[in-house]
Amino acid sequence: MIHLIIAGALIAALYVVLVETLFKKSKCKGTADMTGKTAIITGGNTGIGKATALDLAGRGVRVILACRNQKKAEAAINDIKKATGSNDILFMELDLGSFKSVRTFAENFLKSESKLDLLINNAGLVADGRTEDGFGIEFGVNHLGHFLLTCLLLDRLKESPAARVVTLSSMAHSWGKIDFDSLVATKDLGSGRYSWQFFQAYCNSKLCNVLFTHELAKRLKGTNVTCYSVHPGVVKTELSRHVSLWQKVFIEPVARLLFLDPKTGAQTTLHCAIQEGIEHLSGRYFSCCAVEEVSAKAKDDAVAKKLWEVSERLSGLS
């Protein structure tokens, strides 16, 4: 009996530790007036993106859901309209795995919308495969598509009195690495049919997100645009929808018990989009609605600059 009591106590203690660390909750406390601002949210039809869209719409923001699946986007729009009463939310098609789609989206947006105050690079995936342009899908969607999108919209962002770019990364960036020789040779930062291989590729893409934000902030100095990278927490979303069935069987019980819900997962994104007084922290990495230090490799000036230049070439910007 004593062994069961000890085991139960240890499990309870572990649960408390996990809830207060890896699965810690936070709350955006920003109260800035957002009425009349315009935001683009990639992957805004589900998960963290949808929760972010719902909150911003409720604050009077014109929200554009930039995503592939129109049916899911329309369902999300209906949900958000019912919850907020806002009619200022719309869908624009965007496939981050296609440079043609990214360019078409940017062209259509710039023609139809006169302003842009928030660009939230939210979409992401864990999967194996290739994009339309032949890049590893995680590198291509999680980093390169967002890189191109941001660059194409920068001039419009600069026209705003105070614009922000928020890019969702992950604590997984800590395990990432960038092999430029392999990237140039294979158009990928890691691949393979085993889960650990494409999870490593995911980590690499999330490191790209942090380095991209680091370099973007340098290039935006002297403008009215600031940028931030975000770890949303360990959130129960559709991020891993492409993993195998047996992995879902393993992940699902843990997710139900511990993972954050999308509304909670959206809080740090919202903090970086709304909170006043963080402009001097442009380029930094946030977790639990607070700035957090990153390792040396995630703020390496030379690597960040090289990643930017390589991304320009790969996306056809140079």
Residue 202 is among the residues annotated as catalytic for this protein:
yes
Confirm if 227 and 165 have CB atoms less than 8 A apart: yes
Contact partners, residue 194, CB within 8 Å, separation at least 6:
none
287's enclosing H/E stretch is strand 285-287
Confirm if 315 and 148 have CB atoms less than 8 A apart: yes
What CA–CA distance (Å, rounded) separates 122 from 45?
Answer: 11
Confirm if 204 and 139 have CB atoms less than 8 A apart: yes
What CA–CA distance (Å, rounded) separates 115 from 126?
Answer: 32
* Identity of the amino acid at 259: F
Nearest to 48 by CA among 256, 239, 203: 239
Catalytic residue among 15, 194, 202, 228: 202
Confirm if 307 and 178 have CB atoms less than 8 A apart: yes
Taken in order 294, 297, 300, 306, the sign of the CA dihedral is: negative
The CA R_g of the chain, rounded to the nearest whole Å, is 19
For residue 173, give the DSSP letter: G
DSSP 37-60: -EEEEETTTSHHHHHHHHHHHHTT
Strand order of the β-sheet with 89-93 is: 89-93, 62-67, 38-42, 118-121, 163-168, 225-231, 285-287, 290-292
What CA–CA distance (Å, rounded) separates 128 from 199?
Answer: 9
DSSP 161-204: SSEEEEEE--GGGGG----HHHHHHHSSS---SSHHHHHHHHHH
Catalytic residues: 202
